Structure 1
């Protein structure tokens, strides 16, 4: 049996999607949700005196786009292509050991993202992505239910020449939280302007904590889960998901300009086929 969920959500929040499907399975089994579902949006008051934005400043983590109307899909300058690949537990362990540095261990997401970041830098020699956006689950749940943390990482050196461990270290230690600035940017014009997160910069989404494989639908558990986002901007996005429980690896979904997809596949083979 194949089961799918398609929805319109500004940030494509995989964690909420997984929670919805988990709750759906419980409702089908006759259970009631263990807590009320709160749809109210609670405004977060700023406590940072530097957070108010000028009329011309937008956060690095978002890109202002022309009006998209009710469809929430921006117009791209190029055709985008989505493709996925799996990295099994053995490959993942080998990759993590290759880029570990001075006793610093990196998570699967950090290791995979660092390598893909550098590969994309190689296929964009005229416009290396030195600023990337990282999306991941917050460690503590917010009261309004929006649990996606959005941060930005900047590299002060050429991506292609960097050691992948340096890029992984940036992702691990140098990510700057941009949630408050994003909220301020949206609220300053009463939500009239349209912004994108995925693809405004090259975007890496850490979906490892999304509970896709915990879904129980009439006694059946998923054997394979895929997740993708439409409306990604021209800079592209890379989603790192948990892999099937049997192989203990990761599933990676890349959404990139069509002309880059084949080149990225070729670059990745050098890491996973050697």
Structure 2
């Protein structure tokens, strides 16, 4: 597996979102674009199902980071080449199937000792936009740059979408996203 990262500036993100329906969040727009691009280059291996992992922000927490995740799958019977980015973004946004119960049942059958691959069993998109990595403070210091990587990703790969630091430096393009791609 090879890891690479790149920034999607606010300007480019606005352009991408303008190609989708109104109100499609940044994560869904980026995930749809990456899904479509990977389908084009993975000839004969049309990834018709993807895993989407989000941070569960349903509860107020006193800490920046938590281990509460929503794991869901999104599938399409249509050819990805024929779908528009906006259609894929809507699929990701509206038609995900929660897999918590199925995962819990598998763990129960294995008495909690099974070895499961979640990241990369299917092409996996990880929404970390709401995880306040830049709010983490150690000895009074906050990070200037945060890098994130996941080891042990399955052969379909994973794509993470993170926030960019909200800084006020001159020339800064606030509102961009950091995208980390882990692919074979």
Q: TM-score, normalised by structure 1?
A: 0.61
Q: CA deviation at 1:90?
A: 1.2
Q: CA deviation at 1:192?
A: 3.1
Misfit runs of 4+, over 4 Å: none
Match for residue 265 of structure 1?
Answer: none
2:6 maps to 1:85: yes
Q: TM-score, normalised by structure 2?
A: 0.89
Deviation per residue, 1:119-165 (Å, 9 max, x gap) = 00001120110000000012424xxx741000000011011221000
Q: CA RMSD in A?
A: 1.5
Structural mapping, 1:35-184, within 5 Å: 80-100=1-21, 104-141=22-59, 146-184=67-105
**1:111 counterpart SS class:** helix
Relative to its length, the structure with more strand (as a share) is 2
* In 2: Cα distance, 1:139 partner to 1:212 partner: 14
Q: Please, which of 113, 117, 133 is the counterpart of residue 212 of structure 1?
A: 133
* In 2: Cα distance, 1:193 partner to 1:222 partner: 36
Q: CA deviation at 1:83?
A: 0.2
For these two proteins, the number of residue pairs brought into alignment is: 173
Match for residue 178 of structure 2?
Answer: 251
* In 1: Cα distance, 2:18 partner to 2:7 partner: 18
Which runs of 5 or more structure 2 residues have no equivalent in the other structure? 60-65, 168-173
* In 1: Cα distance, 2:161 partner to 2:106 partner: 28
8 A Cα contact 2:19 2:85, kept in partner: no
The structure with the larger Rg is 1
